[in-house]
């Protein structure tokens, strides 16, 4: 049985991701928001494009509150 280099060794604790580099492209993260997300601004924009679009804003009709 051979060990693949991309797999952790048995009974080992994986290292936490490096918070100073983007998880997608590896670029250095330069601001607090990027370090918090672990993604640079360009990669965050790419991820946002893949998310479901926001529904269009519309006013909902509501019944009047009693006593007003």
Task: Please state the domain extents for the chain.
Answer: 17-50
pTM value is 0.47
Residue range 1-15, pLDDT digits in tens: 565 666 766 776 666
Supply the DSSP symbol for 44.
Answer: H
What is the pLDDT averaged over residues 36-50?
Answer: 85
What does pLDDT average to over the chain?
78
Q: Residue 16: how many CB atoms within 10 A of its CB?
A: 6
CA distance 29 to 27: 6
């Amino acid at each position: 049985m051979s060990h693949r280099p991309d797999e952790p060794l048995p009974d080992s604790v994986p290292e936490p991701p490096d918070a100073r580099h983007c998880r997608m492209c590896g670029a250095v993260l330069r601001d607090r928001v990027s370090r918090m997300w672990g993604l640079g601004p360009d990669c965050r924009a790419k991820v946002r494009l893949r998310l479901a679009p926001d529904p269009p804003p519309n006013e909902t009709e509501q019944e009047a509150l009693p006593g007003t």
